Amino acid sequence: MERILIIGAAGQIGSELTLKLREIYGNDNVYATDVKDAPADIKAGGPFQLLDVMDDKHLIHFVIRHKITQIYHLAAVLSGNAEKLPVQAWHINMDSLMNILEVAKLVEDVKKVFWPSSIAVFGASTPRQMTPQVTYMEPSTVYGISKLAGERWCEYYNKRYGVDVRSLRYPGLISYKTEPGGGTTDWAVEIYFEAIKKKAYTCFVSEETLMPMMFMDDAIEATVRLMEAEHASLSAHSAYNVSGPSLSPAMVAADIQRHIPDFTMEYAPDFRQQIADTWPRSMDDGNFRKDIDWKPVFDLITITDVMISEIRKKIKASLT
C-alpha cells in the first residue's frame, strides 16, 4: 500500500495534485503538508499538517512515523521572486531538495520521489525552437541554476544510491484553483483573472513573447503517469521535457476576446522579460511522449473556455 507525502500541498501544483493522489491512493494515505495553511478541501479531505522541509530532523521523523513510500516535493521559490533574494532562494530550493534526497536514501520504505524541474534550466545558448531534451544548458537565473543543479543531484542519487527520483521540466502551468506567485510564466494565469475582474490586464512581458505552457489537468496526468511507470521504461532519470501549447500574451488576449470582446491589454515589460527571452519558445517532449504514452489534451481554446468558466464560478461563490 502506498503512503504519500506531499510537500507544498497549498501551492499551485500541490493543491490539485493532492486531490488527484487521494482519489487514486485513498484519502487517508496522502499526507498533505506545507509551511502555510492549505485550502479547505485539502484539509477536509485527508491528513494535513504544517511541515517545514528545511527542518531535516522533523522531516525524517515524519517520514518514518507515517511509513511514507512516495514523496512529492513541490515547494520552491519561483524565477521572478528568486531574483529578488538570490542567496535565500538558492538555499531554499537546493537545501530542501537535498533534505528530500537524503531522506529517500536513508529510509528504506521510501521507494519513489517526484521533484519538478522547469524550462528555466535552459538559457541563452539553448536552441529556443523545439528545445531538445539534451542540449546546451546555461541558465542565467537563480531559479534555473537551482533546477539544473537539482536535476544533476537527482540523477546522482539515482545512479549512486538507487533512489528512484523522477522529474518533469514543467513549462508555465495554467490553472484557476491556486494562483502561482513570483514566476515568469505567471502572466498566463493573471491574464484570465484580470480579464474577468477588470476587463483589462497590463502584462509584464511583451505581446509576442512566446512561451511553452500547459494546463494543470495535463500536468497532473503527466505527473501521475510518470510516477506509475515501470522504472525500466524510463530513459531519463534527471528530468523529461514536457509541454502543451506555446502561447504569447497576444494569442491569449485574442482568445479571451471570444468571451469578453471589450477586454483590453497593455504591456509594461519588467525584469522578467529578460528571463523569458532566454527560455524556450517551444519544447520537444518526444522522449516523454514515447516512454510514457502521454499527450496533452488542452489547447488554447479549451484552456480559455475552462479558465473563464471556472474563474467566474469561483468569483460568484466568493460573493455568496
Rule CB under 6 A: which residues touch ligand SER? 78-79, 118-120, 143, 170, 172, 183-185
Q: 10 Å Cβ neighbour count for 8?
A: 26
How far is the C-alpha of 180 from the C-alpha of 304, rounded, in Å?
17
240 is catalytic: no
Please state the closest distance from residue 204 (CB atom) to ligand SER, in A. Answer: 11
Place of cell 464560478: 313
First CA to last CA distance, the chain: 41
Q: Which is nearer to ligand SER, 214 or 306 (CB)?
A: 214
Burial of 302 (0-12, 13-18, 19+ CB in 10 A): middle
State the residue number with the nearest CB to ligand SER.
Answer: 183
Q: Between residues 149 and 260, which has the closer beta carbon with respect to ligand SER?
A: 149
Kind of pairing, strands 117-118 and 112-114?
A: unpaired
- Find the catalytic residue in 143, 157, 170, 201: 143
Cα separation, 33 vs 10, in Å, equals 8
CA 78, CA 181: separation in Å to the nearest integer? 7
Query: 316, exposed or middle or buried, with CB in 10 Å at 0-12, 13-18, 19+?
Result: exposed
Count CB neighbours of 202 within 10 A. Answer: 14
Which residue's CB is nearer to ligand SER, number 11 or number 183? 183
Nearer to ligand SER, 27 or 273 (CB): 273
Helix ranges (DSSP H) in the chain: 14-25, 40-44, 56-65, 79-84, 86-106, 142-161, 187-198, 216-228, 249-256, 272-276, 286-292, 300-319
Minimum distance, C-beta of residue 143 to ligand SER, in the bound complex (Å): 6
Q: How far apart are CB 312 and ligand SER at their closest, in Å?
A: 24
CB of 182 to ligand SER, least distance (A): 7
Which three three-digit cell numbers place residue 310? 471556472
Q: Which is nearer to ligand SER, 140 or 257 (CB)?
A: 140
Q: How far is the CB of 54 from ligand SER (least distance, A)?
A: 20
Q: Which amino acids are annotated catalytic?
A: 143
